[in-house]
């Protein structure tokens, strides 16, 4: 969807490869099982840094080096690094554009899109990421899967044009801060609807492969979505807008290289080979990450 925000000089290449980008937008979640460094790239438990009465967004330095100095790299890795990772990936994408490396442009565009989208989800900004600390377990899936399943067809994904972002790190921090500001509603509304519904109305069992999975019922998801207003949709729209804008920014910072010839250079067979390897790796070494996609 972010492809449609791009200017004429970029859109051809992205449209030609839209299938690749769409299919690979979920790669980072797959990698979580292959690499222990992957998981923290998807979230930041900003409330970990909230001392009494303090706004954690005032405490945590926005720049990586400053944050490392203040808290140590181990701490940052333990509580998530999504804003810094978005900034880093934007840098790598700029490099790929400079090198006219079509494969890397596509791969990094897909990856960057994924992390930006994660940063727009309120539940990716808290240690209570699945409601596990407040007896609201499963809320992550409700937000990220159930609600979009129900309503995605009606979403309005036209978000305007990509814009140049001078300081990606500040923009992504602003997005994380905005995501975090919605958390009170995310949890409160769940609790409020729960109090008004019996538990056999609240949950439904669904067949997944060979097992039955307990999850929020359709009725609950609908009620929840109605109370949330357009929060899910508006977070998605903002994510799409920033994805297009950071792709565009990387391209501008690379000197606006001509992408017209790149489209034909993309070696999808080779990329598919590599993707297969990745899947093998994942199968081989199932590292249990937290269920925090």
Residues in touch with Zn ion (CB under 5 A): 29, 42, 118, 293
Q: Residue 45 or 293: which CB sits closer to Zn ion? A: 293
Query: Measured between alpha carbons, how far is 279 from 90 in angstroms, rounded to an integer?
Result: 25
Q: Residue 107 or 202: which CB sits closer to Zn ion? A: 107
H helix or E strand, kind and range, residue 214:
strand 211-216
Query: Measured between alpha carbons, how far is 252 from 98 in angstroms, rounded to an integer?
Result: 10
Q: Residue 45 or 253: which CB sits closer to Zn ion? A: 45
Compute the least distance from the CB of residue 43 to Zn ion, in Å.
8
Token pair of 203, please? 């949950």
Q: Which residue is nearest to Zn ion (CB)?
A: 42
Query: Measured between alpha carbons, how far is 231 from 237 in angstroms, rounded to an integer?
Result: 10
Q: Give the strand pairing for 211-216 and 203-208.
A: antiparallel
**Longest pairwise C-alpha distance within the chain:** 60
Compute the least distance from the CB of residue 126 to Zn ion, in Å.
15
Q: Residue 121 or 259: which CB sits closer to Zn ion? A: 121
Token pair of 5, please? 């925000």
Contact 129, 123 (CB under 8 A): yes
Compute the least distance from the CB of residue 240 to Zn ion, in Å.
16
Compute the least distance from the CB of residue 113 to Zn ion, in Å.
11
Measured in whole angstroms, the distance separating CA 263 from the mean position of its chain's CA atoms is 26
Compute the least distance from the CB of residue 146 to Zn ion, in Å.
17
Q: Residue 253 or 293: which CB sits closer to Zn ion? A: 293
């Amino acid at each position: 969807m972010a492809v449609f925000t791009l200017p004429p000089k970029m859109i051809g290449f992205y449209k030609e490869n839209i299938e690749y980008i769409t299919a690979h937008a979920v790669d980072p979640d797959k990698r979580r099982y292959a690499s222990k460094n992957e998981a923290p790239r998807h979230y930041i438990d900003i409330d970990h840094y909230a001392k009494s009465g303090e706004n954690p967004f005032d405490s945590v330095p926005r720049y990586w080096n400053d944050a490392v100095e203040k808290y140590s790299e181990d701490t940052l890795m333990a509580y998530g690094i999504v804003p810094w990772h978005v900034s880093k990936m934007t840098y790598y994408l700029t490099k790929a554009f400079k090198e006219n490396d079509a494969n890397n442009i596509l791969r990094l565009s897909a990856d960057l899109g994924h992390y930006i989208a994660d940063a727009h989800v309120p539940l990716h900004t808290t240690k209570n990421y699945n409601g596990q600390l407040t007896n609201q377990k499963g809320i992550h899936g409700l937000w990220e899967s159930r609600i979009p399943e129900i309503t995605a067809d009606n979403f309005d994904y036209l978000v305007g044009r990509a814009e140049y972002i001078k300081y990606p790190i500040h923009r992504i921090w602003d997005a994380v801060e905005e995501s975090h500001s919605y958390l009170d509603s995310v949890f409160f509304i769940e609790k409020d609807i729960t109090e008004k519904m019996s538990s056999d109305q609240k949950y439904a069992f669904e067949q997944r492969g060979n097992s039955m999975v307990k999850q929020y019922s359709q009725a609950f998801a609908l009620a929840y979505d109605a109370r949330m207003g357009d929060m899910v949709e508006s977070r998605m729209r903002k994510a799409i807008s920033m994805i297009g804008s950071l792709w565009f920014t990387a391209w501008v910072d690379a000197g606006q290289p001509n992408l017209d010839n790149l489209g034909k250079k993309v070696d999808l067979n080779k990329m598919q080979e590599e993707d297969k390897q990745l899947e093998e790796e994942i199968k081989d070494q199932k590292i249990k990450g937290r269920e925090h996609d």
